[in-house]
Amino acid sequence: MIKNDLYLRALKGETVERPPVWMMRQAGRYLPEFQDIKGKYDFFTRCRTPELASEITVQPIRRFGMDAAILFSDILVIPQAMNIEVQMKADFGPYLPHPIHDQKGVDNVVIPDVNIELDYVMQAIKATKDLLNNEVPLIGFAGSPWTILCYCVQGQGSKTYDKAKGFCFTNPVAAHELLQKITDTTIAYLKSKVEAGVDAVQIFDSWGGMLSPVDYQEFSWQYINQIIDALKDDAPVIAFGKGCWFALPEMAKSNASALGIDWTITAQNARYLTGGNKTLQGNLDPARLLSSPAEIKKMVRQMINDFGKDKYIVNLGHGILPNIPLENAKAFIDAVKEYRST
Ligand code: CP3
C-alpha cells in the first residue's frame, strides 16, 4: 500500500484534507543534481539505464516532497521502438533524421513487442518502485498519438507543425494508419508499464491545441479515447491536452480519471465545461514560477480556492521551465502542503 495516497484519492474523486501536488517535467533541468547526471551521460543512456532513470525520478521527491513521482523517460521512446530513428540534440531538442512523408514511410513503421524493445522502461519502473519504498505513487506516461505523429512527420519541434498537419490533410488514409499503429503500440506499452508497477498513467497531448476543434476530434481525441478505454480497468488515466480547452466537454464524457489543463482557461470555466464532476489537474502558467516565492504562495492558495480542494490536483499548466529558481519551485509545493481550507 502507498503511504501517501492523496494523489490516488483525488483521482477517485474522494474528499481530501488538501489537494495533492506534483509538477509536469519535475524530474529535470532546473535541478542541479539532474545537471550532474546530465553532464556524465547522454539523454537516451539516462533513459535506458534503470539505475540512472530511477535516481533522476526520485531526485525531485527527495528535495521537495511532491505527492507523486513521474518516471524519467520520454514520449519519443515509442517512435524509437517503432523503427523510427530519434536523436536528442543538445540545445536543440528531438531530431528525427528520416521523417515520414508518405504511405511507404508508414508501411516501414513497426508495431514492436514492447516487452522486448522497451524492457528497459519496465526495469526502470521496478528500480524506481524499490527506491520510492511505497512513499508516493509513481506515474507512467506516453505521448498522445497525434503528438507523436507531430515529431514523426515534422522531424523536430515546431511552432506550427505545418508538415504534420499537411500530411494529415493531404494523405488522411496514411495518417490514420500511422495514428492507429501508434495507438496500438501505446496501449500495449502502458499496459506493460502498469504491470511493471506504475500506479497511474498520463497521456501528454502537448500539441493537440494546434488543431481546430473539428480536426482535434478526428486526428487526436478519438485515439486518446481508445487508449483511455483500453487502460481504464488497469489504472487511472489522466489526459493532459495543451491548448485543448475547447474539447473539455467531450473529454469530460470519457473514462479518464482526470483531465489536465493549461493556464489559458479559468478554474470556473474549466469546471463549467467539464460539468463540475471530473477531477482536474493544473494549471499555473509555468512562467509564473519566476514570480517571488511570496507571490507564488498567494497564487497557489487562490488557485486551490478557485478549483476547490476536492477533485483537484495542483500542477503547472505545462512543464516546469529550466530557469526556475529552486526556492520558487519549493514555494509552489510548500503552498499546497500548507493549505488549510477556511
Ligand atoms: O518529470 C519529468 O521530467 C519526467 C520525464 C519527461 C521527459 N520528457 C524528460 C526529458 C517527460 C514526462 C517528458 C515528456 C515529453 N517529452 C513531452 C510531453 C510533455 C511536454 O512537455 O509537453 C514532450 C513533448 C517531449 C519531447 C521532448 N523531449 C522535447 C521537446 C525535448 C527537448 C526540450 C526539453 O524539454 O528539453 C525533450 C528532451 C527531454 N525530455 C529532456 C528531459 C529532462 C531535456 C533534455 C535532456 O535532459 O538532455
DSSP secondary structure string for all residues of 259-308: EE--TTS-HHHHHHHTTT-SEEEEEE-GGGGGS-HHHHHHHHHHHHHHH-
Compute the distance between CA of residue 207 and CA of residue 96 in angstroms, rounded to an integer: 17
Grid cell digits, residue 307: 478549483
Residue 263: the pLDDT is 98
Are 270 and 277 a contacting pair, CB within 8 Å? no
Please tell me the residue having the least CA distance from ligand 1 atom 47. 43
Task: Give residue ranges with CB within 6 A of ligand 1.
Answer: 25-29, 38, 43, 70, 72-76, 88, 93-94, 141, 143, 157, 204, 206, 319
pTM above 0.85, yes or no: yes
Which segments of the chain does DSSP mark as H helices, in order?
Answer: 6-12, 32-40, 43-48, 50-64, 77-81, 103-107, 114-117, 119-132, 145-154, 162-170, 172-196, 213-216, 222-231, 248-252, 267-273, 293-307, 326-337
Which of the listed residues 23, 24, 25 should we mutate to test ligand 1's pocket, taking the one with most ligand atoms within 8 A of CB? Answer: 25
Compute CA distances 230 → 61, 170, 237, 256, whole Å: 30, 30, 10, 11
Identity of the residue numbered 89: K
Q: How far is CA 310 from the centre of its chain?
A: 21
| pLDDT tens sequence for the chain (342 residues) | 999 999 999 999 999 999 999 999 999 999 999 999 999 999 999 999 999 999 999 999 999 999 999 999 999 999 999 999 999 999 999 999 999 999 999 999 999 999 999 999 999 999 999 999 999 999 999 999 999 999 999 999 999 999 999 999 999 999 999 999 999 999 999 999 999 999 999 999 999 999 999 999 999 999 999 999 999 999 999 999 999 999 999 999 999 999 999 999 999 999 999 999 999 999 999 999 999 999 999 999 999 999 999 999 999 999 999 999 999 999 999 999 999 876
Q: Report the DSSP beta bridge partners of residue 201.
A: 140, 237
Compute the distance between CA of residue 338 and CA of residue 340 in angstroms, rounded to an integer: 6
- Residue 338 CA to ligand 1 centre (angstroms): 29
Grid cell digits, residue 127: 528500480
Grid cell digits, residue 78: 515509442
Nearest to 106 by CA among 137, 123, 84, 76: 84
Q: Determine if the peptide bond prior to 283 is cis (ω within 30°).
A: yes
Compute the distance between CA of residue 193 and CA of residue 207 in angstroms, rounded to an integer: 23
Please tell me the residue having the least CA distance from ligand 1 atom 31. 93
